[in-house]
């Protein structure tokens, strides 16, 4: 259902032609079923492609996310260490 809503919003936004007036379209139940069927059909053909892209880029995305997490932790550690007095015994 969310995919249907997203698809509808994208189609409406793409077809607006720069008009400033809002577009209000009400779909009948039959039209909704037709759109759901079209989305399901196309998603079944796209899913293998999307899965292969995900597998191909997974290692890179994990590395970027890990580097980002490590960088944030190092920055947090540096902030915390800056709060500690340099010579606590004096």
Range 69-80 average pLDDT: 95
What is the value of pTM for the model shown?
0.43
Pick 76 or 13 by higher pLDDT.
Answer: 76
Do residues 41 and 34 touch, judged by C-beta distance below 8 A?
no
Residue 64 is given by DSSP the state: H
pLDDT at 34: 93
CB under 8 Å to 8, separation ≥6 — which residues? 25, 27, 35
What confidence tier does 72 reach under pLDDT thresholds 50, 70, 90?
A: very high
Q: Does pLDDT of 11 surpass 60?
A: yes
Range 37-52 average pLDDT: 88
pLDDT at 14: 59
CA distance 75 to 69: 10
pLDDT tens for 51-68 read 999 999 999 999 999 999
Helix, strand, coil percentages for the chain (3-state, nearest 5): 75, 0, 25
Range 58-82 average pLDDT: 94
């Amino acid at each position: 259902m969310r995919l249907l809503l997203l698809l509808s919003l994208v189609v409406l936004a793409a077809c607006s032609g720069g008009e400033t007036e809002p577009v209000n379209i009400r779909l009948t139940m039959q039209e909704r079923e037709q759109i759901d069927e079209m989305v399901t059909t196309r998603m079944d053909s796209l899913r293998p492609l999307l899965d292969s892209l995900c597998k191909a880029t997974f290692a890179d995305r994990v590395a970027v996310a890990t580097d980002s997490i490590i960088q944030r932790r190092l920055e947090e550690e540096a902030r915390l260490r800056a709060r500690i007095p340099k010579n606590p015994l004096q």
